[in-house]
Amino acid sequence: MSLFHGLSAFPITPTDEQGIVNTDEVMILAKHLSAHKVDSIGLLGSTGIYAYLVRTERKRAIRAAIQAVGGKTPLIVGIGSLRTDDAQNLARDAAAEGADGLLLAPVSYTPLTQEEAFQHYKAVAEVTDLPLCIYNNPSTTHFTFSQELLGRLADLTTVQAVKMPPPKEGDVAAELKQMRESPVGQIAIGYSGDWIAAEALLAGCDSWFSVLGGFLPKIARALVDAVAVEDPITVEQHQQNLLPLWELFREFGSLRVAYAAANHLKLSNALPPRPILPLAECDQNRVVAALASLDQ
Protein backbone atom coordinates (compact mmCIF):
# COMPACT_ATOMS: atom_id res chain seq x y z
CA MET A 1 0.00 0.00 0.00
CA SER A 2 1.44 3.39 -0.96
CA LEU A 3 1.80 6.29 1.45
CA PHE A 4 -1.39 8.06 0.44
CA HIS A 5 -3.76 5.09 0.74
CA GLY A 6 -5.97 3.86 3.56
CA LEU A 7 -6.66 5.61 6.85
CA SER A 8 -4.62 8.76 7.43
CA ALA A 9 -5.26 10.05 10.96
CA PHE A 10 -4.97 13.78 11.63
CA PRO A 11 -4.50 14.63 15.33
CA ILE A 12 -4.39 17.98 17.04
CA THR A 13 -0.98 19.40 17.87
CA PRO A 14 -1.19 19.94 21.64
CA THR A 15 -0.12 23.46 22.56
CA ASP A 16 -0.75 26.21 25.06
CA GLU A 17 -2.46 29.49 24.19
CA GLN A 18 0.85 30.92 22.92
CA GLY A 19 1.34 28.10 20.44
CA ILE A 20 4.13 26.34 22.36
CA VAL A 21 4.00 22.64 21.49
CA ASN A 22 3.71 20.07 24.27
CA THR A 23 6.02 17.41 22.85
CA ASP A 24 5.10 14.84 25.51
CA GLU A 25 1.48 15.01 24.41
CA VAL A 26 2.46 14.89 20.74
CA MET A 27 4.19 11.61 21.53
CA ILE A 28 1.18 10.29 23.44
CA LEU A 29 -1.10 10.98 20.50
CA ALA A 30 1.32 9.58 17.91
CA LYS A 31 1.85 6.37 19.90
CA HIS A 32 -1.92 6.02 20.36
CA LEU A 33 -2.57 6.29 16.63
CA SER A 34 0.28 3.98 15.69
CA ALA A 35 -0.88 1.35 18.19
CA HIS A 36 -4.31 1.31 16.54
CA LYS A 37 -2.81 0.59 13.11
CA VAL A 38 -3.67 3.73 11.19
CA ASP A 39 -2.01 3.65 7.77
CA SER A 40 -0.40 7.05 8.23
CA ILE A 41 -0.39 10.01 10.60
CA GLY A 42 -1.08 13.45 9.19
CA LEU A 43 0.89 15.77 11.44
CA LEU A 44 0.42 19.54 11.23
CA GLY A 45 -2.73 19.47 9.16
CA SER A 46 -5.50 22.01 9.67
CA THR A 47 -6.61 20.20 12.84
CA GLY A 48 -2.92 20.19 13.74
CA ILE A 49 -2.96 24.03 13.63
CA TYR A 50 0.02 24.30 11.26
CA ALA A 51 -0.92 27.85 10.30
CA TYR A 52 -0.61 29.01 13.92
CA LEU A 53 2.82 27.53 14.64
CA VAL A 54 6.20 29.11 14.00
CA ARG A 55 8.90 27.10 12.27
CA THR A 56 10.72 26.06 15.46
CA GLU A 57 7.52 24.71 17.02
CA ARG A 58 6.68 22.76 13.89
CA LYS A 59 10.13 21.15 14.01
CA ARG A 60 9.66 20.22 17.67
CA ALA A 61 6.32 18.57 16.85
CA ILE A 62 7.79 16.59 13.95
CA ARG A 63 10.76 15.43 16.01
CA ALA A 64 8.51 14.24 18.83
CA ALA A 65 6.16 12.35 16.50
CA ILE A 66 9.05 10.69 14.67
CA GLN A 67 10.52 9.56 17.98
CA ALA A 68 7.16 8.25 19.17
CA VAL A 69 6.31 6.08 16.15
CA GLY A 70 9.82 4.75 15.69
CA GLY A 71 9.31 4.07 12.00
CA LYS A 72 6.23 1.89 12.61
CA THR A 73 3.75 4.34 11.03
CA PRO A 74 4.43 6.70 8.11
CA LEU A 75 4.31 10.40 8.94
CA ILE A 76 2.86 12.95 6.50
CA VAL A 77 3.75 16.51 7.53
CA GLY A 78 1.87 19.69 6.63
CA ILE A 79 4.15 22.42 5.28
CA GLY A 80 1.68 25.13 4.26
CA SER A 81 2.91 28.72 4.50
CA LEU A 82 2.18 32.08 2.92
CA ARG A 83 5.54 32.43 1.18
CA THR A 84 7.12 29.92 -1.16
CA ASP A 85 10.57 30.15 0.43
CA ASP A 86 9.07 29.46 3.86
CA ALA A 87 7.21 26.42 2.53
CA GLN A 88 10.45 25.22 0.94
CA ASN A 89 12.25 25.53 4.26
CA LEU A 90 9.45 23.66 6.02
CA ALA A 91 9.73 20.88 3.43
CA ARG A 92 13.47 20.67 4.05
CA ASP A 93 12.88 20.58 7.81
CA ALA A 94 10.36 17.76 7.50
CA ALA A 95 12.74 15.75 5.31
CA ALA A 96 15.65 16.34 7.67
CA GLU A 97 13.61 15.16 10.67
CA GLY A 98 12.62 11.94 8.91
CA ALA A 99 9.09 12.56 7.60
CA ASP A 100 7.78 10.16 4.97
CA GLY A 101 5.64 12.61 2.97
CA LEU A 102 4.42 16.19 2.70
CA LEU A 103 1.03 17.88 2.62
CA LEU A 104 0.89 21.34 1.04
CA ALA A 105 -2.03 23.76 1.14
CA PRO A 106 -2.06 26.97 -0.95
CA VAL A 107 -2.10 29.34 2.01
CA SER A 108 -2.79 32.90 0.92
CA TYR A 109 -3.76 36.38 2.04
CA THR A 110 -3.79 38.02 -1.36
CA PRO A 111 -5.82 35.53 -3.43
CA LEU A 112 -3.58 33.38 -5.59
CA THR A 113 -4.05 32.93 -9.30
CA GLN A 114 -3.97 29.43 -10.78
CA GLU A 115 -0.52 30.09 -12.25
CA GLU A 116 0.82 31.42 -8.93
CA ALA A 117 -0.39 28.29 -7.18
CA PHE A 118 1.23 26.07 -9.81
CA GLN A 119 4.58 27.83 -9.51
CA HIS A 120 4.35 27.66 -5.71
CA TYR A 121 3.81 23.89 -5.74
CA LYS A 122 6.46 23.35 -8.39
CA ALA A 123 9.06 25.26 -6.39
CA VAL A 124 8.28 23.41 -3.16
CA ALA A 125 8.13 20.01 -4.84
CA GLU A 126 11.63 20.48 -6.20
CA VAL A 127 13.46 20.92 -2.88
CA THR A 128 13.07 17.35 -1.57
CA ASP A 129 12.41 13.89 -2.94
CA LEU A 130 9.56 13.30 -0.49
CA PRO A 131 6.17 12.46 -2.03
CA LEU A 132 3.79 15.39 -1.81
CA CYS A 133 0.02 15.56 -1.44
CA ILE A 134 -1.98 18.54 -2.72
CA TYR A 135 -4.16 19.88 0.07
CA ASN A 136 -7.39 21.14 -1.50
CA ASN A 137 -9.18 22.95 1.33
CA PRO A 138 -11.08 25.94 -0.11
CA SER A 139 -13.12 26.59 3.05
CA THR A 140 -9.89 27.43 4.90
CA THR A 141 -7.53 28.68 2.18
CA HIS A 142 -10.18 30.41 0.04
CA PHE A 143 -8.42 29.02 -3.02
CA THR A 144 -10.19 26.81 -5.53
CA PHE A 145 -8.20 24.43 -7.70
CA SER A 146 -9.34 24.14 -11.28
CA GLN A 147 -9.29 20.65 -12.80
CA GLU A 148 -6.68 21.96 -15.23
CA LEU A 149 -4.42 23.03 -12.37
CA LEU A 150 -4.81 19.70 -10.57
CA GLY A 151 -3.89 17.94 -13.80
CA ARG A 152 -0.78 20.08 -14.26
CA LEU A 153 0.29 19.43 -10.68
CA ALA A 154 -0.27 15.70 -11.10
CA ASP A 155 2.44 15.73 -13.76
CA LEU A 156 5.07 16.92 -11.25
CA THR A 157 7.34 14.05 -10.30
CA THR A 158 6.94 14.14 -6.52
CA VAL A 159 3.22 15.02 -6.46
CA GLN A 160 1.52 11.71 -5.69
CA ALA A 161 -1.87 12.52 -4.18
CA VAL A 162 -4.63 15.05 -3.64
CA LYS A 163 -6.68 15.56 -0.49
CA MET A 164 -10.15 16.61 -1.62
CA PRO A 165 -12.94 18.34 0.33
CA PRO A 166 -16.60 17.28 0.21
CA PRO A 167 -18.04 18.20 -3.21
CA LYS A 168 -20.06 21.40 -3.31
CA GLU A 169 -22.38 19.91 -5.89
CA GLY A 170 -23.24 16.31 -6.73
CA ASP A 171 -21.99 13.22 -4.99
CA VAL A 172 -18.54 11.89 -4.27
CA ALA A 173 -18.86 8.92 -6.63
CA ALA A 174 -19.59 11.17 -9.62
CA GLU A 175 -16.74 13.55 -8.79
CA LEU A 176 -14.32 10.70 -8.18
CA LYS A 177 -15.22 9.07 -11.51
CA GLN A 178 -14.68 12.34 -13.34
CA MET A 179 -11.30 12.84 -11.68
CA ARG A 180 -10.19 9.26 -12.37
CA GLU A 181 -10.89 9.82 -16.08
CA SER A 182 -8.87 13.06 -16.15
CA PRO A 183 -5.10 13.62 -15.82
CA VAL A 184 -5.66 13.80 -12.04
CA GLY A 185 -6.36 10.08 -12.13
CA GLN A 186 -2.64 9.30 -12.29
CA ILE A 187 -2.28 10.22 -8.59
CA ALA A 188 -4.03 8.95 -5.45
CA ILE A 189 -7.33 10.70 -4.64
CA GLY A 190 -8.45 10.91 -1.03
CA TYR A 191 -11.14 12.81 0.84
CA SER A 192 -11.49 14.77 4.06
CA GLY A 193 -14.72 16.04 5.63
CA ASP A 194 -15.41 13.14 7.96
CA TRP A 195 -19.18 13.26 7.56
CA ILE A 196 -18.77 12.05 3.95
CA ALA A 197 -16.22 9.38 4.89
CA ALA A 198 -18.58 6.43 4.39
CA GLU A 199 -19.74 7.77 1.03
CA ALA A 200 -16.19 8.43 -0.16
CA LEU A 201 -14.87 5.05 0.98
CA LEU A 202 -17.75 3.18 -0.63
CA ALA A 203 -17.14 5.14 -3.84
CA GLY A 204 -13.58 3.78 -3.91
CA CYS A 205 -11.43 6.75 -2.89
CA ASP A 206 -7.79 5.89 -2.14
CA SER A 207 -7.65 7.39 1.33
CA TRP A 208 -9.64 8.92 4.14
CA PHE A 209 -7.86 11.90 5.69
CA SER A 210 -9.59 11.64 9.03
CA VAL A 211 -9.96 14.01 11.97
CA LEU A 212 -11.89 11.27 13.81
CA GLY A 213 -8.90 8.98 13.31
CA GLY A 214 -6.79 11.52 15.18
CA PHE A 215 -8.54 10.80 18.48
CA LEU A 216 -10.71 7.69 17.90
CA PRO A 217 -8.52 5.58 15.60
CA LYS A 218 -10.18 2.32 16.62
CA ILE A 219 -13.58 3.44 15.32
CA ALA A 220 -12.10 5.04 12.20
CA ARG A 221 -10.17 1.82 11.52
CA ALA A 222 -13.34 -0.24 11.95
CA LEU A 223 -15.18 1.91 9.41
CA VAL A 224 -12.39 1.57 6.85
CA ASP A 225 -12.16 -2.18 7.43
CA ALA A 226 -15.93 -2.63 7.05
CA VAL A 227 -15.71 -1.03 3.61
CA ALA A 228 -12.73 -3.21 2.71
CA VAL A 229 -14.70 -6.42 3.40
CA GLU A 230 -17.77 -5.04 1.61
CA ASP A 231 -19.99 -4.92 4.69
CA PRO A 232 -22.38 -2.02 3.97
CA ILE A 233 -24.59 -2.82 6.97
CA THR A 234 -21.72 -2.29 9.41
CA VAL A 235 -20.63 0.83 7.50
CA GLU A 236 -24.13 2.28 7.87
CA GLN A 237 -24.19 1.40 11.57
CA HIS A 238 -20.94 3.30 12.12
CA GLN A 239 -22.24 6.22 10.10
CA GLN A 240 -25.42 6.44 12.16
CA ASN A 241 -23.52 6.18 15.43
CA LEU A 242 -21.20 8.97 14.35
CA LEU A 243 -23.91 11.42 13.24
CA PRO A 244 -23.86 13.46 16.51
CA LEU A 245 -20.11 13.95 16.11
CA TRP A 246 -20.45 14.85 12.43
CA GLU A 247 -23.05 17.47 13.37
CA LEU A 248 -20.61 19.02 15.84
CA PHE A 249 -17.84 19.02 13.22
CA ARG A 250 -20.04 20.90 10.80
CA GLU A 251 -21.34 23.33 13.41
CA PHE A 252 -18.07 24.30 15.09
CA GLY A 253 -15.33 23.11 12.76
CA SER A 254 -13.47 19.90 13.41
CA LEU A 255 -10.49 21.63 15.06
CA ARG A 256 -12.41 22.86 18.11
CA VAL A 257 -14.27 19.57 18.48
CA ALA A 258 -11.04 17.56 18.16
CA TYR A 259 -9.43 19.57 20.98
CA ALA A 260 -12.41 18.93 23.23
CA ALA A 261 -12.48 15.24 22.35
CA ALA A 262 -8.74 14.66 22.79
CA ASN A 263 -8.79 16.39 26.16
CA HIS A 264 -11.83 14.44 27.35
CA LEU A 265 -10.19 11.17 26.30
CA LYS A 266 -7.07 12.10 28.34
CA LEU A 267 -4.91 12.13 25.24
CA SER A 268 -4.00 15.75 25.87
CA ASN A 269 -4.63 18.74 28.09
CA ALA A 270 -4.27 21.35 25.41
CA LEU A 271 -5.61 24.76 24.46
CA PRO A 272 -5.79 26.00 20.89
CA PRO A 273 -3.50 28.97 20.25
CA ARG A 274 -5.20 32.34 20.46
CA PRO A 275 -7.25 33.78 18.88
CA ILE A 276 -8.90 30.34 18.60
CA LEU A 277 -10.93 29.67 21.74
CA PRO A 278 -12.01 26.34 23.23
CA LEU A 279 -15.65 25.37 22.90
CA ALA A 280 -17.98 26.76 25.55
CA GLU A 281 -18.61 24.37 28.43
CA CYS A 282 -22.11 23.55 27.22
CA ASP A 283 -20.76 22.59 23.80
CA GLN A 284 -17.90 20.60 25.30
CA ASN A 285 -20.59 18.65 27.12
CA ARG A 286 -22.21 17.90 23.76
CA VAL A 287 -18.88 16.48 22.56
CA VAL A 288 -18.67 14.33 25.69
CA ALA A 289 -22.23 13.09 25.09
CA ALA A 290 -21.42 12.21 21.46
CA LEU A 291 -18.35 10.26 22.60
CA ALA A 292 -20.37 8.49 25.29
CA SER A 293 -22.93 7.37 22.74
CA LEU A 294 -20.13 5.72 20.76
CA ASP A 295 -18.98 3.82 23.86
CA GLN A 296 -22.47 2.45 24.26
Active site residues: 135, 163
Q: Provide Rg for the chain, Cα atoms.
A: 18
Bond into 138 cis (ω within 30):
no
> Which residues make Cβ contacts (< 8 Å) with residue 45, sequence separation at least 6?
10, 78, 103, 135, 209
What span, in angstroms and rounded, lies between the C-alpha atoms of 216 and 258?
10
Name the amino acid, one letter, at 124. Answer: V
What span, in angstroms and rounded, lies between the C-alpha atoms of 38 and 8?
6
Name the amino acid, one letter, at 9. Answer: A
Q: Provide the 10 A C-beta neighbour count for residue 108.
A: 15
> Which residues make Cβ contacts (< 8 Å) with residue 133, sequence separation at least 6?
4, 76, 101, 102, 103, 104, 159, 160, 161, 162, 163, 188, 190
What span, in angstroms and rounded, lies between the C-alpha atoms of 26 and 271?
13
Name the amino acid, one letter, at 25. Answer: E
What span, in angstroms and rounded, lies between the C-alpha atoms of 280 and 91?
36
